[in-house]
Structure 1
């Protein structure tokens, strides 16, 4: 398989779509747990439904060969970390209001910039450092730390930011050899047996509404993972991950519509900073790189 092709604008669009789908997934997970379904069972159905969905679609198209991989040990490691990461990522909004959980998750770009430089050896220059700093400043304005968040919930939220950054690095590496479909499939196939170990202790009979919610979680999870993985194939981690800030808008919308959470004034003060971070990335990728390409100096300095 060819190495990932850098298509910055396409990668950003894929990431924005992934964030929208995954924000809806997060809301559905929170709602489902509050509806009486055990958290571990939610995680299991989030994963296991992806396996038949992807395989049936590829079998229909006679393309199951796209699932072949020569890096199964790497997929196993990604499955272990991914299962833990899901626990943090979905655990935070279960323990905290959506806006606070998403805000803590915005530490991901800080970790991602460091990890992409150390692990992927990507050159991180002033534009992306500046975008991350501006975006995180907006997060701090919105968060208004006041010490009222539960300590365990806050730690889970920070753990989610760290794990997403680490997993993004792994996915970026896997896209160098494997297709996004294969990466998503093997993550589901290898993590589902691990999550199934918890079912005898937590699984219960469900109502029709609960089964519908679990089915929606499986569909949203599959679609979100495909979009997320594809974004890392076409763009650098430290660039596309800044688009994750848009999840705050979805969290605010869902929090208000479903749980009656009303955005505070600090939200409107911090939102422009977060939006500016995304605009800086788009400008850097589309204008600066094209200018350097015309000058024949692409890659001369990091952006």
Structure 2
């Protein structure tokens, strides 16, 4: 079934998605203290994929893709993006990693022009750049201390942009449940590969990314289940958002993750945002409003 463009609906879905992710991702540090990255991805994916398989039988949902190649490209890009993002956290401050990931909307705009012939108006380009400046202010990215390892988060941003674009251009007509299942299936495969490499002696257990399989504690089970449930709902919203809305518009609403993450951190852990951070958030909101209101050829 082909999708019809409805950017307002897509934007609303994206904002709801980011509100959920901004909440549950505040507890990733708790999970990291109890186990490894690869075990987390594997176990969470088993939970999500198992749930979707059961529901697909009961509800008649479609799991098999209509376009295997398009769904495979999207799933692989998404898995690589999340793998690089979480993996980079073992080597870099969260500010640099987060800023790298949130370059994705800029790459969405760039790739839309280069590969899909989409017309991008000057206001949307300026607004996207302003939004990225806001991200840097919120995350306090130190642009004077560039190292080779700092390029890794940019790979997460590039592959996440490719995930967004492939959703719109390669997976048109696919059911949301289909894309959701194979996204988590790819993450599960990534987790299994990582566990295999750790078991082969490549992991020393010294960090989240170098820890292999450990006996899951109650805390690990608890927050992995929470992550599985809420991430399944959130990623379904994200997938649908890119299906129904213009990709270049919808991508910028991903910036709202920073707003919600900061809000939940304040509510849960009394972490506050300084003046420059609030200015950055204001720039992000302004950029999203401009992009939503301007036409593509403005």
Q: Under a length normalisation based on structure 2, what TM-score does the superposition of the two structures give?
A: 0.84
CA distance in 1, matches of 2:228, 2:90: 18
Q: CA RMSD in A?
A: 2.6
CA distance in 2, matches of 1:153, 1:24: 28
C-alpha change, 1:48 and 1:122, in structure 2 (3 Å) is farther
Q: What is the DSSP-based 3-state SS (H/G/I as helix, E as strand, rest coil) of the residue aligned with 2:116?
A: coil
Aligned pairs for 1:145-184 within 5 A: 145-146=141-142, 151=147, 154-184=150-180
Residue 20 of structure 1 is matched in structure 2 by 19
Residue 245 of structure 2 is matched in structure 1 by 235
- Structure 1 residue 168, shift from structure 2 partner: 0.9
Residue 105 of structure 2 corresponds to residue 105 of structure 1: no
- Structure 1 residue 268, shift from structure 2 partner: 1.9
Residue 31 of structure 1 is matched in structure 2 by 30
CA distance in 1, matches of 2:297, 2:146: 40
User: Where in structure 2 are there 5+ consecutive unaligned residues?
Assistant: 200-211
**Could you tell which deviates more after superposition, 88-97 or 187-196?**
88-97
| Aligned pair partner of 1:128 in 124, 127, 142 | 124
Residue 46 of structure 2 is matched in structure 1 by 48
CA distance in 2, matches of 1:149, 1:254: 29
CA distance in 1, matches of 2:219, 2:144: 34
Residues matched between the structures, number: 284
Residue 206 of structure 2 is matched in structure 1 by none
- Structure 1 residue 251, shift from structure 2 partner: 2.7
| Aligned pair partner of 2:276 in 266, 271, 283 | 266
> Once the two structures are superposed, what CA deviation does each residue of 1:174-205 show, in whole Å capped at 9, x if it has no partner?
43131111111122234423422333521110
Residue 279 of structure 1 is matched in structure 2 by 289
Residue 191 of structure 2 corresponds to residue 192 of structure 1: no
C-alpha change, 1:24 and 1:160, in structure 2 (3 Å) is farther
CA contact (8 A) 1:43 1:86 kept: no
